Amino acid sequence: MERRTVLAGIAGGIAAAALPRIASAQARKGYDFIQVDVFSRNKLEGNPLPVFTNAAGLTDAQMQNIARELNHSETTFILPATGKGDARVRIFGTNNELPFAGHPTLGTAFVMSQTRPGRTSLVLEENVGPIPVTLEKRADGTFIEMTQNEPVFGAKADPKMIADTVGISVDEIDSRYAPQMVSTGTNFLIVPLKSVATLAKLKVGFSMPADQRKTFGTGAYYVVTGEPQVESRMIGASNEDPATGSAVGCATAFLVQNGIRKPDEQVAILQGRFVNRPSTLYVRAGMTNGKATNVRVGGYVVEVARGTFTV
> Which pLDDT value is given to residue 27?
67
pLDDT tens for 214-238 read: 999 887 889 998 888 899 999 987 8
Across the strands, what pairs with 77? 52, 90
pLDDT tens for 293-305 read: 999 999 999 999 9
Query: How many helices (DSSP H) and strands (DSSP E) are in the chain?
Result: 6, 17
Q: Are 137 and 116 in contact (CB under 8 A)?
A: no
> Which pLDDT value is given to residue 23?
41
Q: What is the dihedral of CA 276, 188, 126, 242, to 10 degrees?
A: 0
Q: Are 208 and 218 in contact (CB under 8 A)?
A: yes
Q: What angle do CA 249, 232, 186 make, to 5 degrees?
A: 35
**Measured in Å, how far apart are the chain's first and last C-alpha atoms?**
45
Beta strands of the chain (E only): which ranges?
A: 30-38, 47-52, 75-79, 87-92, 97-98, 121-126, 129-138, 141-147, 152-156, 180-183, 187-193, 221-225, 232-235, 240-241, 267-271, 279-288, 291-310
Question: φ, ψ for residue 223 (rounded to 5)?
Answer: -110, 145
**Residues contacting 214, CB < 8 A, separation 6+:** none
Domains of the chain (ranges plus CATH)? 30-148+302-310 (3.10.310.10), 152-294 (3.10.310.10)
State the Cα–Cα distance between residues 217 and 94, nearest whole angstrom.
19
Half-sphere exposure of 261 (CA within 13 A, CB side): 27
- Which residues are annotated as catalytic? 74
> Which pLDDT value is given to residue 26?
55
pLDDT tens for 123-139 read: 999 999 999 999 999 99
**Residues contacting 2, CB < 8 A, separation 6+:** none
Does the pLDDT value for residue 1 go beyond 60? no
Average pLDDT over residues 27-56: 96
Instruction: Give me the amino acid identity at 311.
Output: V
Does the pLDDT value for residue 73 go beyond 90? yes
Closest CA to 256 of 229, 232, 228, 291: 291
Greater confidence (118 vs 280) lies with: 280
For the whole model, what pTM was predicted? 0.89
| Per-residue confidence band for 207, with pLDDT thresholds at 50, 70 and 90 | confident
Q: Are 309 and 31 in contact (CB under 8 A)?
A: yes
> Which pLDDT value is given to residue 10?
41
DSSP assignment string, 139-181: TTEEEEEEEPPPPEEEEE--HHHHHHHHTS-GGGB-TTS--EE
Where does residue 75 rank: exposed (0-12), middle (13-18), buried (19+ CB within 10 A)?
buried
